[in-house]
Amino acid sequence: MARQRQERAERTRAALIHAAAEVFDQAGYHGAGLNAILQRAGITTGAMYFHFKSKEELARAVIVDQAAELQWPQGKKGLQQLVDVCQYLAVEMRSNVLFRAGVRLAVEQSEVNLLDYSIYDWWSDQFRTHLTEARELGQLNPEVDEAAFAQVIVASYTGTQIMSRLSTNRSDLPARIENMLRCLLPAIAPAEIVASLEFPGNGEPAGESVGAAEPEEGAAS
């Protein structure tokens, strides 16, 4: 019985986060109403307050959980893995509403007084992992600071996806991310390493090893 209650509570929380992501994605934080979120989730006010005490707390959960449904490309290492991950994220941001809404809220949080930087640290850590592996593979120039460059990638990705959203509703995001990487990578890796990297040019991650199922249509940093 206790396990059933726990599973029911987890389903309720997940339904709330998904419904909130859909409404935040469409309307932004200020335009999203709790009633619209509850109606979409099919959940009562009392059930919501068991999990989240306010719209602000619910928005924080969407920000923190933005990557929960991502299934990372596998099989590559170092800079190629970094390229594949960046392209995968660009594709996911066009169809994964939880990811997209979490990125939108993270960008807009200064306007709504959420002010939680932790998600940017989390993304920096993900990119730093690939850069550290690239260092071990001898792919980086000696003077490169992996932690600093990981933060540069996060900042560049955030700005690029904002520009893409405003320009084309992110339809050109994979191409913009490829351009971003082509500009950034020569600053950290020898020319022959950069030349060996696969940039598919069609917005899909290079290689055959993205383990995700096709994401459901419904989300950037």
Rounded Cα–Cα distance for residues 208 and 128 (Å) = 23
pLDDT at residue number 212: 37
pLDDT at residue number 201: 65
* CA angle 100–160–203, rounded 5-degree value: 70
Report residue 136: phi and psi, to 5°: -65, -25
Q: How large is the average pLDDT for residues 152-179?
A: 96
Does the pLDDT at position 217 exceed 80?
no
Rounded Cα–Cα distance for residues 103 and 64 (Å) = 10
Helices (H) and strands (E) in the chain, counts: 10, 0
pLDDT range class, residue 208, cuts 50, 70, 90:
very low
Report residue 93: phi and psi, to 5°: -65, -20
pLDDT range class, residue 6, cuts 50, 70, 90:
confident
Cβ neighbours of 202 (radius 10 Å): 10
Pair of tokens at residue 3: 């396990």
Quote the percentage of the chain above a pLDDT of 90: 79
Task: Quote the mean pLDDT of the chain.
Answer: 89
pLDDT at residue number 31: 92
Q: Which residues touch 196 (CB under 8 Å, ≥6 apart)?
A: none
* Residue 131 near residue 149 (C-beta atoms within 8 A): yes
Does the pLDDT at position 205 exceed 60?
no
pLDDT at residue number 7: 82
Assign residue 96 a region: left if phi > 0, alpha if psi is -120 to 50, beta otherwise?
beta
Does the pLDDT at position 2 exceed 90?
no
* Residue 88 near residue 210 (C-beta atoms within 8 A): yes
Does the pLDDT at position 157 exceed 90?
yes
* Residue 80 near residue 197 (C-beta atoms within 8 A): yes
Q: Which of 108, 97, 92 is nearest to 173 (CA)?
A: 92
pLDDT range class, residue 209, cuts 50, 70, 90:
very low
pTM: predicted TM-score of the whole model, two decimal places: 0.84
Cβ neighbours of 157 (radius 10 Å): 24
Among 50-54, 139-143, 172-176, where is mean pLDDT lowest? 50-54
Q: Which of 159, 174, 149 is nearest to 221 (CA)?
A: 159
Domains identified in the chain and CATH numbers: 2-64 (1.10.10.60), 78-196 (1.10.357.10)
Could you read off the pLDDT of 88-139 as tens digits, one per residue? Answer: 999 999 999 999 999 999 998 877 778 788 999 999 999 999 999 999 999 9
Rounded Cα–Cα distance for residues 151 and 154 (Å) = 5
pLDDT at residue number 216: 36
Could you read off the pLDDT of 46-80 as tens digits, one per residue? Answer: 989 999 999 999 999 999 999 999 999 998 999 99
Assign residue 93 a region: left if phi > 0, alpha if psi is -120 to 50, beta otherwise?
alpha
